[in-house]
Amino acid sequence: MENNEVKHKRRPRYKGTHPRNYHEKYKELHPEKYGDTVAKVIQKGSTPAGMHISICVQEILDFFQIKPGQRGLDATLGYGGHTLEMLKCLNHEGHIYGLDVDPIESSKTKERLEKLGYGPDMLTVKLINFANIDEVAAEGGPFDFVLADLGVSSMQIDNPERGFSYKVDGPLDLRLNPEKGITAAERLEESDEEELIGMFMENADEPYAEEIAKAIVREIRHGHKIDTTKRLRDVIENALSFIPEAERKEAVKKSCQRTF
């Protein structure tokens, strides 16, 4: 008789006394199981891995004065922090639409809110950019309140597999929706120097746009792939090697932030 039991796989040990990289922080990544650990991290003033702590929640609620029976729109669902508090105000009477372009995080948020009792009767989650808000308004409006907290969330930045951070190595992706478009690595491959300069100057006000663009194009022309976050960070660091040593570390950090 065959033994089809799945063998227990031991969790990888981490060096030192505390987990440092994203995947080692398994307790923070499962707040439903390890609430005490998550609470301790938040109490220390940090954001647990895989989570996003919403800002100005009470101020937003005070401004909206949400009442049961109303309809609302959260144009940037994210981790669902704002959405959850607005749903509570509705007291199971009314409806909220939540928009997000990230299929990975929005599905997690939808599942998390459903477990808290906010299913399809109270919440509609749509994988759509807030730029198309008119389409959503035509379907679910008119809305009594609309919130748009624009920006990238901690969940994307923390996860090295998403390629948003220069601080940890991972694939150079940078897509909120990894199912659409091309990766940042592919974009660098197909862009010329002039386009990169314009991109860095117009989108990031990068003072060393020319130096960084030239370094990127030179690397690619020589057959060197820039397909990880560390590789791009190293290219930027080498491009700014002319900066005096006392100022270089901070300059590289700022240019990495702007370029990414």
Q: Residues 150, 153, 157, 160: is their CA dihedral positive or negative?
A: negative
Which is higher by pLDDT, 55 or 77? 77
pTM: 0.68
The contacts found for 166-170 with CB under 8 angstroms, 24 or more apart, are: 166/229, 166/230, 166/232, 166/233, 166/256, 166/257, 166/260, 168/21, 168/22, 168/229, 169/228, 169/229, 169/230, 170/228, 170/229
What average pLDDT score do residues 49-56 get?
A: 73
Q: Taking 90 as the threshold, does the pLDDT of residue 213 lie above it?
A: yes
| Percentage of the chain lying above the pLDDT 90 cut | 60
Which domains, ranges and CATH numbers included, belong to the chain? Answer: 16-51 (no CATH), 57-151 (3.40.50.150), 159-259 (1.10.150.170)
pLDDT confidence band for 167 (50 / 70 / 90): confident
- Which residue has tokens 């120097």? 193
